[in-house]
Amino acid sequence: MANQNGKGSSPRNIFSEDFRSNYDDINWETRKTSYQWMKEKEYSNIVIIDYDGWDRLKLDESLSEKITKKEFDRRLGMSTSMNKFGDNGNPSN
């Protein structure tokens, strides 16, 4: 039986040029507005009922601010939300 370490059969050398160049190409701080994050597939079944995680006095401005996914997830977690359900009772897509 083959040993499976993560996605490959052997550990990756973090000091290799391939690893470093790939690591440097990743944009760890992608910023989007909350409106844009809400359109991402992983959030498409979520309805925000109360925007507690955003500045509700300046809601449009707060939703238009460019933030990271981590910050969006934090704000979403502070808010009241629910999943959308289709006619068959399953989450809609």
**Residue written as token pair 């009772």:** 89
Residue-wise pLDDT tens digits, 35-47: 999 999 989 899 9
Q: What pLDDT is attached to residue 85?
A: 76
Return the higher-pLDDT residue of 75 and 88. 75
- Nearest CA-CA partner of 72 in 38, 44, 41: 38
Residue 50 has pLDDT above 90, yes or no: yes
Q: 47 and 16 in contact (C-beta within 8 Å)?
A: no
Q: What pLDDT is attached to residue 11?
A: 64
The ranges assigned to domains in the chain are 30-83
